[in-house]
């Protein structure tokens, strides 16, 4: 989806690439081989992130560029791209309309900290898509999707992502941690997430990235329980067990697929059923 409108051409491009491969075109072989090797390399790594596929974008663009002019103006591509633009417009307007109709109910059911302005931006994007689709209807409709994606990513980049920074990163969460534990405390993390390291104000100790969360938790509890009250752990909610009800445990909120708790060493001394 994020590579549209280039990926829209794949049904037509596959046949062309097959012919060029049969003709042993070195450019096609090199670029396709590079993309396949890149995907294979990152697929075998334990941590997988969408950003790892970005190096494939230039190769994909070079694969499509030589045939772009001839393909994009085909009647089937024009109809397909314009229909997709209408579908995107309808989906964006429907999402914004439902959010406005249900108000706080849908807002809180998704995430309490989702900026309400995101629904306004969604509606604006839907209006832009509809306007572009109407303006280019007819012989220029093949231009509708590229124009919308240019305008849409411009609006999202300038007005959407800045409003989502606190939601998409643990920056606010880690600022709360720093304020709660003070500047001299040591901090560890169970269920290691690299994003937390980027915004931490101190070294963030891990307990074996490749270990299971249960093993990390056992090692982490031993570490903070053995050396006093100035050590703390950030622990995912599903791994805290009886510690969730212990005195001093702080609920931090949800980030990157987990609810996080801040566990002090003092909680281990009184938590039922827990061992240091």
What is the predicted pLDDT for the residue at 174? 87
Who contacts 75 (Cβ-Cβ below 8 Å, separation ≥6)? Answer: none
Rounded Cα distance, 89 and 83, in Å: 10
Residue 113 pLDDT? 58
pLDDT digits (tens, 9 = 90+) for 150-200: 999 899 889 888 877 777 788 888 888 888 888 888 888 887 777 888 888
71 burial (CB, 10 Å; 0-12 / 13-18 / 19+) is: middle
Residue 273 pLDDT = 45
In this predicted structure, the answer to whether residue 275 has a pLDDT above a threshold of 60 is: no
Is pLDDT above 80 for 228? no
Helix axes 117-135, 144-155, angle to 10 degrees: 160
Interval 45-76: pLDDT, tens: 877 777 888 899 899 888 888 877 777 778 88
> What is the tens place of the pLDDT at every residue in 240-258?
666 666 667 788 877 777 7
Q: Are 17 and 64 in contact (CB under 8 A)?
A: no
Structure-model confidence comparison of residues 9 and 47, the more confident one: 9
> What pLDDT was estimated at residue 136?
86
Lowest mean pLDDT among 80-89, 125-134, 138-147: 138-147
pLDDT of the residue at 3:
78
- Its pTM stands at 0.65
pLDDT digits (tens, 9 = 90+) for 17-56: 888 888 888 888 999 999 999 999 988 887 777 788 889 9
Percent of the chain surpassing pLDDT 70:
78
132 pLDDT more than 50: yes
User: Which residue has tokens 């397909």?
Assistant: 80
Q: What is the pLDDT of residues 69-100, one digit of tens each?
A: 777 778 888 888 889 999 999 999 998 888 77
Q: Is 88 exposed, middle or buried (0-12, 13-18, 19+ CB in 10 A)?
A: buried
pLDDT surpassing 70 at residue 213? no
pLDDT at 218 > cutoff 60? yes
- Report, as an integer, the average pLDDT of 202-224: 68
Q: Does residue 114 have a pLDDT over 70?
A: no
Statement: residue 125 has pLDDT above 90: yes
Q: Is the pLDDT of residue 109 over 70?
A: no
């Amino acid at each position: 989806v994020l590579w549209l409108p280039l990926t829209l051409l794949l049904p037509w491009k596959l046949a062309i690439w097959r012919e060029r491969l049969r003709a042993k075109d070195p450019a096609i072989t090199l670029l396709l081989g590079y993309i396949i090797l890149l995907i294979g390399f990152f697929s075998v790594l334990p941590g997988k992130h969408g950003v790892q596929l970005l190096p494939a974008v230039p190769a994909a663009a070079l694969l499509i560029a030589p045939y772009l002019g001839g393909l994009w103006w085909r009647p089937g591509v024009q109809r397909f791209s314009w229909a997709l633009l209408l579908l995107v417009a309808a989906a964006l307007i429907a999402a914004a309309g439902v959010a406005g109709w249900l108000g706080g109910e849908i807002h809180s059911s998704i995430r309490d900290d989702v900026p309400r302005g995101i629904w306004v931006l969604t509606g604006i994007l839907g209006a832009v898509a509809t306007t572009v689709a109407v303006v280019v209807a007819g012989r220029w409709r093949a231009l509708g999707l590229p124009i919308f994606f240019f305008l849409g990513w411009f609006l999202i980049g300038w007005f959407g992502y800045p409003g989502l920074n606190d939601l998409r990163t643990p920056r606010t969460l880690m600022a709360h941690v720093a304020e709660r534990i003070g500047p001299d405390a040591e901090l560890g993390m169970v269920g290691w997430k690299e994003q937390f390291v980027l915004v931490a104000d101190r070294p963030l100790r891990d307990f074996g990235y490749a270990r299971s969360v249960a093993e990390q938790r056992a090692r982490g509890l031993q570490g903070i329980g053995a050396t006093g009250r100035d050590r703390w752990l950030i622990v995912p909610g599903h791994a805290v067990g009886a510690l969730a009800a212990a005195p001093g445990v702080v609920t931090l909120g949800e980030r990157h697929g987990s609810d996080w708790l801040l566990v002090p060493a003092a909680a281990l001394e009184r938590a039922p059923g827990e061992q240091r």
